[in-house]
Structure 1
Amino acid sequence: MSPIPSLPSREDVLRMARSTTDITGQLLDTAGNITRIAVNTLDPRDGSGAEALRVLRETTAELAEASASPQAQEAFYRIVDTLTRLGTSGAPLAVHPVSEPAQALLAALGDSLLPVLDAVEPAVQEAVAALGELVDASSPLLPAAAGIAAGALLALTPVLRAAADVLRGSSPELRRIADALTAALAPLLPLQVALAERAAAAGAGVVRATLPPLADLTEAAAAVMQTARPVLVAGEEMLVAGLEQLQPLLLATASRAGQVARAGAVRVSAAVSPAADRTVVVAVTPA
Protein backbone atom coordinates (compact mmCIF):
# COMPACT_ATOMS: atom_id res chain seq x y z
CA MET A 1 0.00 0.00 0.00
CA SER A 2 1.50 3.26 -1.09
CA PRO A 3 1.88 5.97 1.58
CA ILE A 4 -0.41 8.99 1.48
CA PRO A 5 1.52 12.01 0.19
CA SER A 6 1.86 14.89 2.61
CA LEU A 7 -0.07 18.07 1.96
CA PRO A 8 1.89 21.18 0.97
CA SER A 9 2.64 23.65 3.73
CA ARG A 10 1.21 27.15 3.97
CA GLU A 11 4.53 28.67 2.82
CA ASP A 12 4.57 26.42 -0.26
CA VAL A 13 0.99 27.38 -1.12
CA LEU A 14 1.76 31.10 -0.69
CA ARG A 15 4.92 30.79 -2.79
CA MET A 16 3.06 28.97 -5.58
CA ALA A 17 0.28 31.57 -5.44
CA ARG A 18 2.81 34.43 -5.68
CA SER A 19 4.59 32.73 -8.56
CA THR A 20 1.29 32.13 -10.37
CA THR A 21 0.24 35.75 -9.83
CA ASP A 22 3.59 37.10 -11.07
CA ILE A 23 3.53 34.89 -14.17
CA THR A 24 -0.09 35.85 -14.90
CA GLY A 25 0.76 39.55 -14.54
CA GLN A 26 3.74 39.20 -16.86
CA LEU A 27 1.62 37.38 -19.45
CA LEU A 28 -1.06 40.07 -19.25
CA ASP A 29 1.56 42.83 -19.61
CA THR A 30 3.07 41.05 -22.61
CA ALA A 31 -0.34 40.59 -24.21
CA GLY A 32 -1.13 44.26 -23.62
CA ASN A 33 2.15 45.35 -25.19
CA ILE A 34 1.59 43.11 -28.22
CA THR A 35 -1.95 44.45 -28.62
CA ARG A 36 -0.71 48.05 -28.32
CA ILE A 37 2.01 47.44 -30.92
CA ALA A 38 -0.47 45.81 -33.31
CA VAL A 39 -2.96 48.66 -32.90
CA ASN A 40 -0.29 51.31 -33.42
CA THR A 41 1.10 49.48 -36.44
CA LEU A 42 -2.22 48.88 -38.21
CA ASP A 43 -3.80 52.22 -37.28
CA PRO A 44 -5.15 53.69 -40.54
CA ARG A 45 -5.23 57.23 -39.17
CA ASP A 46 -1.50 57.86 -39.54
CA GLY A 47 -1.16 56.06 -42.86
CA SER A 48 1.07 53.30 -41.53
CA GLY A 49 -1.61 50.59 -41.55
CA ALA A 50 -1.80 50.29 -45.31
CA GLU A 51 1.99 50.36 -45.61
CA ALA A 52 2.34 47.63 -42.98
CA LEU A 53 -0.23 45.47 -44.75
CA ARG A 54 1.59 45.98 -48.07
CA VAL A 55 4.92 44.99 -46.55
CA LEU A 56 3.27 41.98 -44.90
CA ARG A 57 1.77 40.85 -48.22
CA GLU A 58 5.11 41.23 -50.00
CA THR A 59 6.95 39.37 -47.25
CA THR A 60 4.38 36.56 -47.28
CA ALA A 61 4.65 36.25 -51.05
CA GLU A 62 8.45 36.13 -50.92
CA LEU A 63 8.35 33.52 -48.15
CA ALA A 64 5.90 31.41 -50.12
CA GLU A 65 8.07 31.64 -53.23
CA ALA A 66 11.23 30.75 -51.27
CA SER A 67 9.58 27.82 -49.48
CA ALA A 68 8.28 26.41 -52.77
CA SER A 69 11.79 25.88 -54.13
CA PRO A 70 13.14 22.30 -54.30
CA GLN A 71 16.01 23.15 -51.96
CA ALA A 72 13.63 24.42 -49.26
CA GLN A 73 11.34 21.39 -49.64
CA GLU A 74 14.31 19.04 -49.31
CA ALA A 75 15.49 20.92 -46.20
CA PHE A 76 11.98 20.65 -44.68
CA TYR A 77 11.87 16.92 -45.36
CA ARG A 78 15.31 16.45 -43.78
CA ILE A 79 14.28 18.44 -40.67
CA VAL A 80 11.08 16.42 -40.27
CA ASP A 81 13.00 13.16 -40.78
CA THR A 82 15.58 14.16 -38.17
CA LEU A 83 12.92 15.14 -35.63
CA THR A 84 11.05 11.88 -36.28
CA ARG A 85 14.17 9.80 -35.71
CA LEU A 86 14.99 11.76 -32.53
CA GLY A 87 11.47 11.21 -31.22
CA THR A 88 11.55 7.52 -32.11
CA SER A 89 14.91 6.96 -30.41
CA GLY A 90 14.16 9.16 -27.40
CA ALA A 91 10.64 7.95 -26.62
CA PRO A 92 11.75 4.57 -25.13
CA LEU A 93 14.09 6.40 -22.75
CA ALA A 94 11.18 8.18 -21.06
CA VAL A 95 9.45 4.88 -20.14
CA HIS A 96 12.64 2.90 -19.43
CA PRO A 97 12.99 1.68 -15.81
CA VAL A 98 16.31 3.53 -15.56
CA SER A 99 14.50 6.83 -16.04
CA GLU A 100 12.56 6.45 -12.77
CA PRO A 101 15.56 6.86 -10.42
CA ALA A 102 16.83 9.64 -12.67
CA GLN A 103 13.49 11.44 -12.34
CA ALA A 104 13.53 10.92 -8.56
CA LEU A 105 17.08 12.32 -8.42
CA LEU A 106 16.08 15.38 -10.45
CA ALA A 107 13.05 15.95 -8.21
CA ALA A 108 15.19 15.69 -5.06
CA LEU A 109 17.79 18.04 -6.52
CA GLY A 110 15.11 20.53 -7.49
CA ASP A 111 13.54 20.50 -4.02
CA SER A 112 16.90 20.89 -2.29
CA LEU A 113 18.19 23.56 -4.66
CA LEU A 114 15.19 25.91 -4.34
CA PRO A 115 16.35 27.48 -1.03
CA VAL A 116 19.88 27.79 -2.40
CA LEU A 117 18.63 29.50 -5.55
CA ASP A 118 16.45 31.85 -3.51
CA ALA A 119 19.47 32.77 -1.36
CA VAL A 120 21.90 33.40 -4.22
CA GLU A 121 19.41 35.16 -6.53
CA PRO A 122 20.47 38.74 -5.56
CA ALA A 123 24.15 37.89 -5.96
CA VAL A 124 23.49 36.25 -9.32
CA GLN A 125 21.55 39.29 -10.51
CA GLU A 126 24.40 41.61 -9.47
CA ALA A 127 26.95 39.34 -11.18
CA VAL A 128 24.89 39.23 -14.37
CA ALA A 129 24.54 43.01 -14.38
CA ALA A 130 28.30 43.42 -13.86
CA LEU A 131 28.98 40.88 -16.61
CA GLY A 132 26.70 42.82 -18.96
CA GLU A 133 28.57 46.04 -18.20
CA LEU A 134 31.87 44.23 -18.81
CA VAL A 135 30.64 42.94 -22.17
CA ASP A 136 29.45 46.42 -23.15
CA ALA A 137 32.80 47.91 -22.15
CA SER A 138 34.77 45.26 -24.06
CA SER A 139 32.57 45.40 -27.17
CA PRO A 140 35.39 46.88 -29.36
CA LEU A 141 37.37 43.69 -28.75
CA LEU A 142 34.54 41.35 -29.72
CA PRO A 143 35.06 41.57 -33.54
CA ALA A 144 38.74 40.74 -33.14
CA ALA A 145 37.93 37.81 -30.84
CA ALA A 146 35.30 36.58 -33.29
CA GLY A 147 37.83 36.78 -36.14
CA ILE A 148 40.40 34.84 -34.13
CA ALA A 149 37.82 32.20 -33.23
CA ALA A 150 36.70 31.90 -36.86
CA GLY A 151 40.32 31.54 -37.99
CA ALA A 152 40.96 28.85 -35.36
CA LEU A 153 37.85 26.95 -36.45
CA LEU A 154 38.87 27.17 -40.09
CA ALA A 155 42.34 25.90 -39.18
CA LEU A 156 40.86 22.99 -37.20
CA THR A 157 38.35 21.97 -39.87
CA PRO A 158 40.84 20.00 -42.05
CA VAL A 159 42.19 18.24 -38.95
CA LEU A 160 38.69 17.23 -37.85
CA ARG A 161 37.79 16.01 -41.32
CA ALA A 162 40.99 13.98 -41.56
CA ALA A 163 40.33 12.46 -38.13
CA ALA A 164 36.75 11.63 -39.14
CA ASP A 165 37.99 9.95 -42.34
CA VAL A 166 40.57 7.93 -40.38
CA LEU A 167 38.02 6.80 -37.81
CA ARG A 168 35.47 6.00 -40.50
CA GLY A 169 37.98 3.87 -42.35
CA SER A 170 39.14 2.14 -39.16
CA SER A 171 35.73 1.08 -37.86
CA PRO A 172 36.61 -2.69 -37.76
CA GLU A 173 39.71 -2.00 -35.68
CA LEU A 174 37.74 0.29 -33.36
CA ARG A 175 35.12 -2.43 -32.92
CA ARG A 176 37.85 -4.93 -32.07
CA ILE A 177 39.31 -2.49 -29.51
CA ALA A 178 35.88 -1.94 -27.94
CA ASP A 179 35.23 -5.71 -27.74
CA ALA A 180 38.65 -6.32 -26.17
CA LEU A 181 38.12 -3.58 -23.57
CA THR A 182 34.66 -4.90 -22.75
CA ALA A 183 35.94 -8.46 -22.34
CA ALA A 184 38.80 -7.25 -20.12
CA LEU A 185 36.76 -4.89 -17.91
CA ALA A 186 33.56 -6.92 -17.48
CA PRO A 187 35.05 -9.37 -14.90
CA LEU A 188 36.43 -6.46 -12.88
CA LEU A 189 33.11 -4.65 -12.42
CA PRO A 190 31.80 -6.73 -9.47
CA LEU A 191 35.14 -6.32 -7.68
CA GLN A 192 35.06 -2.59 -8.30
CA VAL A 193 31.54 -2.37 -6.92
CA ALA A 194 32.56 -4.21 -3.72
CA LEU A 195 35.61 -1.99 -3.30
CA ALA A 196 33.47 1.11 -3.89
CA GLU A 197 31.04 0.00 -1.17
CA ARG A 198 33.91 -0.57 1.29
CA ALA A 199 35.47 2.79 0.36
CA ALA A 200 32.11 4.53 0.81
CA ALA A 201 31.65 2.97 4.27
CA ALA A 202 35.19 3.93 5.31
CA GLY A 203 34.80 7.44 3.91
CA ALA A 204 31.51 7.90 5.77
CA GLY A 205 33.22 6.88 9.02
CA VAL A 206 36.08 9.30 8.41
CA VAL A 207 33.65 12.13 7.65
CA ARG A 208 31.63 11.43 10.80
CA ALA A 209 34.81 11.46 12.89
CA THR A 210 36.20 14.58 11.19
CA LEU A 211 33.15 16.84 11.22
CA PRO A 212 33.12 17.69 14.99
CA PRO A 213 36.81 18.78 15.08
CA LEU A 214 36.29 20.64 11.82
CA ALA A 215 33.33 22.49 13.31
CA ASP A 216 35.41 23.43 16.37
CA LEU A 217 38.26 24.59 14.13
CA THR A 218 35.88 26.67 12.01
CA GLU A 219 34.40 28.34 15.06
CA ALA A 220 37.88 29.11 16.40
CA ALA A 221 38.98 30.52 13.03
CA ALA A 222 35.84 32.67 12.88
CA ALA A 223 36.57 34.00 16.37
CA VAL A 224 40.16 34.78 15.40
CA MET A 225 39.00 36.58 12.26
CA GLN A 226 36.51 38.65 14.24
CA THR A 227 39.27 39.57 16.69
CA ALA A 228 41.74 40.41 13.92
CA ARG A 229 39.20 42.34 11.83
CA PRO A 230 40.64 45.80 12.74
CA VAL A 231 44.12 44.60 11.75
CA LEU A 232 42.82 43.33 8.41
CA VAL A 233 40.95 46.57 7.77
CA ALA A 234 44.06 48.59 8.60
CA GLY A 235 46.16 46.44 6.26
CA GLU A 236 43.63 46.91 3.46
CA GLU A 237 43.64 50.66 4.03
CA MET A 238 47.45 50.72 3.90
CA LEU A 239 47.43 48.70 0.68
CA VAL A 240 44.87 51.00 -0.93
CA ALA A 241 46.80 54.08 0.18
CA GLY A 242 49.99 52.63 -1.29
CA LEU A 243 48.26 51.96 -4.58
CA GLU A 244 46.89 55.50 -4.62
CA GLN A 245 50.41 56.87 -4.08
CA LEU A 246 51.82 54.65 -6.83
CA GLN A 247 49.08 55.58 -9.29
CA PRO A 248 50.80 58.76 -10.68
CA LEU A 249 54.07 56.86 -11.13
CA LEU A 250 52.31 54.00 -12.90
CA LEU A 251 50.42 56.40 -15.16
CA ALA A 252 53.62 58.27 -16.06
CA THR A 253 55.44 55.00 -16.77
CA ALA A 254 52.58 53.74 -18.94
CA SER A 255 52.45 57.05 -20.83
CA ARG A 256 56.22 56.97 -21.43
CA ALA A 257 56.06 53.34 -22.59
CA GLY A 258 53.25 54.25 -24.97
CA GLN A 259 55.25 57.13 -26.45
CA VAL A 260 58.30 54.89 -26.93
CA ALA A 261 56.15 52.18 -28.53
CA ARG A 262 54.51 54.68 -30.90
CA ALA A 263 57.89 56.13 -31.91
CA GLY A 264 59.26 52.63 -32.52
CA ALA A 265 56.19 51.71 -34.58
CA VAL A 266 56.61 54.84 -36.71
CA ARG A 267 60.28 54.06 -37.35
CA VAL A 268 59.56 50.42 -38.19
CA SER A 269 56.74 51.33 -40.56
CA ALA A 270 58.96 53.96 -42.23
CA ALA A 271 61.76 51.41 -42.65
CA VAL A 272 59.47 48.70 -44.01
CA SER A 273 57.44 50.88 -46.38
CA PRO A 274 59.32 54.12 -47.13
CA ALA A 275 57.41 56.97 -48.72
CA ALA A 276 57.52 57.26 -52.52
CA ASP A 277 58.24 60.97 -52.56
CA ARG A 278 61.23 61.76 -50.42
CA THR A 279 61.13 65.26 -49.00
CA VAL A 280 64.15 67.28 -47.89
CA VAL A 281 63.89 68.79 -44.42
CA VAL A 282 65.95 71.97 -43.95
CA ALA A 283 66.83 72.92 -40.41
CA VAL A 284 67.37 76.63 -39.82
CA THR A 285 69.47 77.66 -36.83
CA PRO A 286 69.88 81.29 -35.72
CA ALA A 287 73.27 82.84 -36.34
Structure 2
Amino acid sequence: MSPIPSLPSIPSRDDVLRMARSTTDITGQLLDTAGNITRIALNTFDPRDGSGAEALRVLRETTAELAEASASPQAQEAFYRIVDTLTRLGTTGVPLAVHPVSRPAQALLAALGDSLLPILDAVEPAVQEAADALGDLLEAGSPLLPAVAGVAAGALLALTPVIRAAADVLRDSSPELRRIADALTSALAPLLPLQVALAERAAAAGVGVVRAALPPLADLTEAAAATTGAVRPVLIAGEEFLVSGLEHLQPLLLASASRTGRVARAVAVRVSAAVSPTAERGLVVAVTPT
Protein backbone atom coordinates (compact mmCIF):
# COMPACT_ATOMS: atom_id res chain seq x y z
CA MET A 1 0.00 0.00 0.00
CA SER A 2 1.51 3.30 -1.13
CA PRO A 3 2.00 5.98 1.53
CA ILE A 4 -0.42 8.87 1.61
CA PRO A 5 1.29 12.06 0.43
CA SER A 6 1.42 14.80 3.03
CA LEU A 7 -0.64 17.89 2.34
CA PRO A 8 1.24 21.18 2.04
CA SER A 9 0.84 23.55 4.92
CA ILE A 10 -1.73 26.29 4.44
CA PRO A 11 -0.16 29.79 4.52
CA SER A 12 -1.15 31.90 7.42
CA ARG A 13 -3.11 35.13 7.21
CA ASP A 14 0.06 37.21 7.71
CA ASP A 15 1.81 35.43 4.85
CA VAL A 16 -1.16 36.04 2.55
CA LEU A 17 -1.24 39.74 3.47
CA ARG A 18 2.54 40.07 2.96
CA MET A 19 2.38 38.44 -0.49
CA ALA A 20 -0.58 40.63 -1.48
CA ARG A 21 1.23 43.80 -0.31
CA SER A 22 4.39 42.82 -2.21
CA THR A 23 2.42 42.07 -5.37
CA THR A 24 0.63 45.41 -5.10
CA ASP A 25 3.91 47.31 -4.67
CA ILE A 26 5.52 45.62 -7.67
CA THR A 27 2.44 46.28 -9.80
CA GLY A 28 2.47 49.95 -8.78
CA GLN A 29 6.14 50.30 -9.65
CA LEU A 30 5.55 48.72 -13.06
CA LEU A 31 2.64 51.06 -13.71
CA ASP A 32 4.69 54.09 -12.67
CA THR A 33 7.54 53.03 -14.98
CA ALA A 34 5.14 52.52 -17.88
CA GLY A 35 3.58 55.93 -17.21
CA ASN A 36 6.99 57.61 -17.19
CA ILE A 37 7.95 55.96 -20.49
CA THR A 38 4.63 56.98 -22.04
CA ARG A 39 5.05 60.58 -20.78
CA ILE A 40 8.59 60.79 -22.23
CA ALA A 41 7.39 59.47 -25.60
CA LEU A 42 4.48 61.92 -25.69
CA ASN A 43 6.70 64.86 -24.74
CA THR A 44 9.24 63.89 -27.41
CA PHE A 45 6.85 63.45 -30.30
CA ASP A 46 4.23 65.99 -29.27
CA PRO A 47 3.37 68.02 -32.41
CA ARG A 48 2.00 70.97 -30.43
CA ASP A 49 5.35 72.44 -29.36
CA GLY A 50 7.19 71.44 -32.52
CA SER A 51 9.58 69.06 -30.81
CA GLY A 52 7.95 65.93 -32.23
CA ALA A 53 7.91 67.24 -35.78
CA GLU A 54 11.50 68.45 -35.40
CA ALA A 55 12.64 65.07 -34.06
CA LEU A 56 10.90 63.27 -36.91
CA ARG A 57 12.42 65.66 -39.46
CA VAL A 58 15.94 65.19 -38.07
CA LEU A 59 15.45 61.42 -37.95
CA ARG A 60 14.19 61.40 -41.55
CA GLU A 61 17.10 63.55 -42.79
CA THR A 62 19.66 61.46 -40.89
CA THR A 63 18.23 58.23 -42.30
CA ALA A 64 18.28 59.65 -45.84
CA GLU A 65 21.88 60.85 -45.51
CA LEU A 66 22.99 57.48 -44.11
CA ALA A 67 21.25 55.66 -46.95
CA GLU A 68 22.84 57.97 -49.54
CA ALA A 69 26.30 57.63 -48.00
CA SER A 70 26.09 53.86 -47.73
CA ALA A 71 24.92 53.55 -51.33
CA SER A 72 27.97 55.34 -52.76
CA PRO A 73 30.62 53.25 -54.57
CA GLN A 74 33.28 54.29 -52.07
CA ALA A 75 31.21 53.06 -49.11
CA GLN A 76 30.38 49.79 -50.86
CA GLU A 77 34.05 49.22 -51.66
CA ALA A 78 34.98 49.97 -48.05
CA PHE A 79 32.33 47.52 -46.81
CA TYR A 80 33.62 44.84 -49.17
CA ARG A 81 37.20 45.41 -47.96
CA ILE A 82 36.13 45.20 -44.32
CA VAL A 83 34.21 41.97 -44.91
CA ASP A 84 37.11 40.52 -46.90
CA THR A 85 39.60 41.41 -44.16
CA LEU A 86 37.41 39.93 -41.43
CA THR A 87 36.89 36.79 -43.50
CA ARG A 88 40.62 36.35 -44.03
CA LEU A 89 41.32 36.96 -40.35
CA GLY A 90 38.70 34.39 -39.39
CA THR A 91 39.90 31.75 -41.84
CA THR A 92 43.52 32.32 -40.74
CA GLY A 93 42.99 32.66 -37.00
CA VAL A 94 40.54 29.81 -36.37
CA PRO A 95 42.87 27.01 -37.59
CA LEU A 96 45.73 28.51 -35.59
CA ALA A 97 43.60 28.67 -32.44
CA VAL A 98 42.56 24.99 -32.66
CA HIS A 99 45.91 23.69 -33.92
CA PRO A 100 47.78 21.41 -31.48
CA VAL A 101 50.81 23.69 -31.68
CA SER A 102 48.83 26.47 -30.02
CA ARG A 103 48.29 24.44 -26.82
CA PRO A 104 51.87 24.82 -25.52
CA ALA A 105 51.72 28.50 -26.38
CA GLN A 106 48.47 28.85 -24.44
CA ALA A 107 49.97 27.00 -21.47
CA LEU A 108 53.05 29.24 -21.62
CA LEU A 109 50.90 32.39 -21.70
CA ALA A 110 48.85 31.12 -18.76
CA ALA A 111 52.00 30.36 -16.74
CA LEU A 112 53.49 33.74 -17.59
CA GLY A 113 50.27 35.46 -16.60
CA ASP A 114 50.12 33.69 -13.24
CA SER A 115 53.77 34.45 -12.49
CA LEU A 116 53.64 38.05 -13.68
CA LEU A 117 50.64 39.08 -11.59
CA PRO A 118 52.63 39.53 -8.30
CA ILE A 119 55.31 41.45 -10.21
CA LEU A 120 52.73 43.74 -11.78
CA ASP A 121 51.10 44.32 -8.40
CA ALA A 122 54.50 45.22 -6.91
CA VAL A 123 55.53 47.66 -9.64
CA GLU A 124 52.10 49.26 -10.08
CA PRO A 125 52.80 52.30 -7.82
CA ALA A 126 56.15 52.97 -9.52
CA VAL A 127 54.62 52.62 -12.97
CA GLN A 128 51.77 54.96 -12.01
CA GLU A 129 54.24 57.54 -10.69
CA ALA A 130 56.39 57.24 -13.81
CA ALA A 131 53.32 57.60 -16.03
CA ASP A 132 52.29 60.77 -14.17
CA ALA A 133 55.80 62.18 -14.49
CA LEU A 134 55.88 61.32 -18.20
CA GLY A 135 52.52 63.04 -18.66
CA ASP A 136 53.85 66.17 -16.96
CA LEU A 137 56.95 66.04 -19.17
CA LEU A 138 54.86 65.74 -22.33
CA GLU A 139 52.62 68.58 -21.22
CA ALA A 140 55.65 70.78 -20.49
CA GLY A 141 57.25 69.93 -23.84
CA SER A 142 54.05 70.32 -25.85
CA PRO A 143 55.38 73.39 -27.77
CA LEU A 144 58.05 71.12 -29.29
CA LEU A 145 55.56 68.50 -30.47
CA PRO A 146 54.56 70.27 -33.74
CA ALA A 147 58.23 70.65 -34.71
CA VAL A 148 58.94 67.00 -33.90
CA ALA A 149 55.86 65.94 -35.88
CA GLY A 150 57.02 68.03 -38.83
CA VAL A 151 60.48 66.49 -38.74
CA ALA A 152 59.01 62.99 -38.52
CA ALA A 153 56.67 63.71 -41.44
CA GLY A 154 59.58 65.03 -43.51
CA ALA A 155 61.68 61.97 -42.68
CA LEU A 156 58.82 59.67 -43.69
CA LEU A 157 58.34 61.56 -46.95
CA ALA A 158 62.06 61.29 -47.64
CA LEU A 159 62.04 57.54 -46.91
CA THR A 160 58.94 56.81 -49.00
CA PRO A 161 60.78 56.67 -52.38
CA VAL A 162 63.45 54.40 -50.88
CA ILE A 163 60.80 52.04 -49.47
CA ARG A 164 58.94 51.97 -52.77
CA ALA A 165 62.16 51.28 -54.69
CA ALA A 166 63.02 48.46 -52.28
CA ALA A 167 59.51 47.02 -52.67
CA ASP A 168 59.84 47.14 -56.48
CA VAL A 169 63.25 45.43 -56.34
CA LEU A 170 61.94 42.69 -54.06
CA ARG A 171 58.86 42.24 -56.23
CA ASP A 172 60.98 41.90 -59.37
CA SER A 173 63.39 39.54 -57.59
CA SER A 174 60.75 37.17 -56.24
CA PRO A 175 62.19 34.09 -58.09
CA GLU A 176 65.64 34.72 -56.63
CA LEU A 177 64.15 35.23 -53.18
CA ARG A 178 62.26 31.96 -53.52
CA ARG A 179 65.49 30.20 -54.50
CA ILE A 180 67.25 31.72 -51.48
CA ALA A 181 64.43 30.58 -49.17
CA ASP A 182 64.51 27.05 -50.61
CA ALA A 183 68.29 26.88 -50.24
CA LEU A 184 68.16 28.06 -46.62
CA THR A 185 65.38 25.61 -45.83
CA SER A 186 67.25 22.67 -47.36
CA ALA A 187 70.45 23.69 -45.55
CA LEU A 188 68.92 24.28 -42.12
CA ALA A 189 66.37 21.44 -42.01
CA PRO A 190 68.99 18.69 -41.28
CA LEU A 191 70.49 20.81 -38.51
CA LEU A 192 67.29 21.22 -36.51
CA PRO A 193 67.36 17.80 -34.74
CA LEU A 194 71.00 18.39 -33.78
CA GLN A 195 70.14 21.83 -32.46
CA VAL A 196 67.28 20.39 -30.38
CA ALA A 197 69.61 17.77 -28.85
CA LEU A 198 72.25 20.41 -28.10
CA ALA A 199 69.58 22.65 -26.57
CA GLU A 200 68.44 19.82 -24.30
CA ARG A 201 72.02 19.16 -23.16
CA ALA A 202 72.62 22.90 -22.64
CA ALA A 203 69.39 23.17 -20.63
CA ALA A 204 70.41 20.24 -18.40
CA ALA A 205 73.87 21.73 -17.85
CA GLY A 206 72.40 25.18 -17.20
CA VAL A 207 70.01 23.79 -14.61
CA GLY A 208 72.93 22.18 -12.77
CA VAL A 209 74.98 25.37 -12.88
CA VAL A 210 72.06 27.47 -11.63
CA ARG A 211 71.32 25.08 -8.79
CA ALA A 212 75.00 25.08 -7.76
CA ALA A 213 75.34 28.86 -8.05
CA LEU A 214 72.18 29.91 -6.22
CA PRO A 215 73.42 29.27 -2.61
CA PRO A 216 76.70 31.26 -3.10
CA LEU A 217 74.73 33.97 -4.87
CA ALA A 218 72.33 34.19 -1.93
CA ASP A 219 75.29 34.47 0.48
CA LEU A 220 76.87 37.16 -1.71
CA THR A 221 73.61 39.08 -1.87
CA GLU A 222 73.21 38.99 1.91
CA ALA A 223 76.81 40.18 2.35
CA ALA A 224 76.27 42.99 -0.18
CA ALA A 225 73.09 44.04 1.63
CA ALA A 226 74.94 44.11 4.97
CA THR A 227 77.80 46.11 3.42
CA THR A 228 75.35 48.58 1.88
CA GLY A 229 73.69 49.09 5.23
CA ALA A 230 77.07 49.72 6.82
CA VAL A 231 78.24 52.27 4.23
CA ARG A 232 74.85 53.96 3.88
CA PRO A 233 75.88 57.02 5.97
CA VAL A 234 78.93 57.48 3.72
CA LEU A 235 76.76 57.32 0.60
CA ILE A 236 74.29 59.82 2.04
CA ALA A 237 77.14 62.17 2.95
CA GLY A 238 78.56 61.89 -0.57
CA GLU A 239 75.17 62.63 -2.12
CA GLU A 240 74.73 65.67 0.11
CA PHE A 241 78.23 66.88 -0.81
CA LEU A 242 77.47 66.47 -4.52
CA VAL A 243 74.13 68.28 -4.27
CA SER A 244 75.66 71.15 -2.29
CA GLY A 245 78.44 71.43 -4.91
CA LEU A 246 75.86 71.65 -7.69
CA GLU A 247 73.97 74.31 -5.75
CA HIS A 248 77.18 76.37 -5.37
CA LEU A 249 78.00 75.92 -9.07
CA GLN A 250 74.52 76.93 -10.26
CA PRO A 251 75.15 80.75 -10.18
CA LEU A 252 78.45 80.32 -12.00
CA LEU A 253 76.83 78.16 -14.66
CA LEU A 254 73.99 80.66 -15.12
CA ALA A 255 76.45 83.54 -15.45
CA SER A 256 78.54 81.59 -17.97
CA ALA A 257 75.44 80.73 -20.00
CA SER A 258 74.31 84.38 -20.01
CA ARG A 259 77.79 85.57 -21.07
CA THR A 260 77.92 82.93 -23.83
CA GLY A 261 74.53 84.07 -25.09
CA ARG A 262 75.64 87.72 -25.27
CA VAL A 263 78.81 86.75 -27.15
CA ALA A 264 76.76 84.64 -29.59
CA ARG A 265 74.36 87.53 -30.23
CA ALA A 266 77.29 89.90 -30.84
CA VAL A 267 78.88 87.45 -33.28
CA ALA A 268 75.54 87.03 -35.08
CA VAL A 269 75.21 90.81 -35.46
CA ARG A 270 78.72 91.13 -36.89
CA VAL A 271 78.21 88.17 -39.26
CA SER A 272 74.88 89.55 -40.52
CA ALA A 273 76.51 92.96 -41.08
CA ALA A 274 79.39 91.38 -42.99
CA VAL A 275 77.11 89.22 -45.13
CA SER A 276 74.83 92.12 -46.18
CA PRO A 277 77.11 95.18 -46.57
CA THR A 278 74.70 96.82 -49.04
CA ALA A 279 72.01 97.28 -46.46
CA GLU A 280 70.84 100.72 -45.53
CA ARG A 281 73.39 102.47 -43.39
CA GLY A 282 71.92 103.78 -40.23
CA LEU A 283 72.83 104.06 -36.64
CA VAL A 284 75.75 101.72 -35.85
CA VAL A 285 75.47 100.09 -32.46
CA ALA A 286 78.62 98.51 -31.11
CA VAL A 287 78.05 95.41 -29.05
CA THR A 288 80.83 94.73 -26.57
CA PRO A 289 80.73 91.47 -24.62
CA THR A 290 81.08 91.90 -20.90
Q: Same fold (TM over 0.5)?
A: yes
Identity of aligned residues (%): 82
> Which of these residues, 266, 279, 282, is aligned with residue 280 of structure 1?
282
Shift of 1:279: 3.9
Give the Cα separation in 1 of the matches to 2:202 and 2:85.
45
1:260 maps to: 263
1:190 maps to: 193
2:182 maps to: 179
1:104 aligns with 2:107: yes
Matches within 5 A, 1:1-287: 62-272=65-275, 278-281=280-283
Task: Identify if the C-alpha distance between structure 1 residues 88 and 228 changes in structure 2 by more than 3 Å, giving closer, same or farther.
Answer: same
Structure 2: gaps of 5 or more residues? 1-43, 45-50, 286-290
Structure 1: gaps of 5 or more residues? 1-41, 43-48
Which letter maps to 2:265?
R
Give the Cα separation in 1 of the matches to 2:59 and 2:252.
63
Number of paired residues? 236
Cα shift readout 1:168-223 (whole Å, capped 9, x = no counterpart): 11111111111111111111111111111111111111111111111111111111
Kindly name which structure, 1 or 2, has the bigger radius of gyration based on alpha carbons.
2
Q: Structure 1 stretch 135-144 or stretch 265-274: which is displaced more?
A: 265-274
Shift of 1:61: 5.3
Give the Cα separation in 1 of the matches to 2:284 and 2:243.
52
Which letter maps to 1:74?
E
Shift of 1:119: 1.0
Give the Cα separation in 2 of the matches to 1:63 and 1:244.
66
Task: Identify if the C-alpha distance between structure 1 residues 62 and 254 changes in structure 2 by more than 3 Å, giving closer, same or farther.
Answer: farther
Which letter maps to 2:105?
A
Say what the alpha-carbon RMSD is for the aligned residues.
Answer: 2.7
1:25 maps to: none
Give the Cα separation in 2 of the matches to 1:269 and 1:282.
13
Shift of 1:273: 5.7
When normalised by structure 2's length, the TM-score is: 0.74
SS in 1 for 2:75: helix
When normalised by structure 1's length, the TM-score is: 0.74
Task: Identify if the C-alpha distance between structure 1 residues 282 and 85 changes in structure 2 by more than 3 Å, giving closer, same or farther.
Answer: closer
Task: Identify if the C-alpha distance between structure 1 residues 61 and 255 changes in structure 2 by more than 3 Å, giving closer, same or farther.
Answer: farther
SS in 2 for 1:135: helix
Larger relative contact order (Cα-Cα within 8 Å, sequence gap ≥ 6): 2
SS in 2 for 1:281: coil
2:15 maps to: none
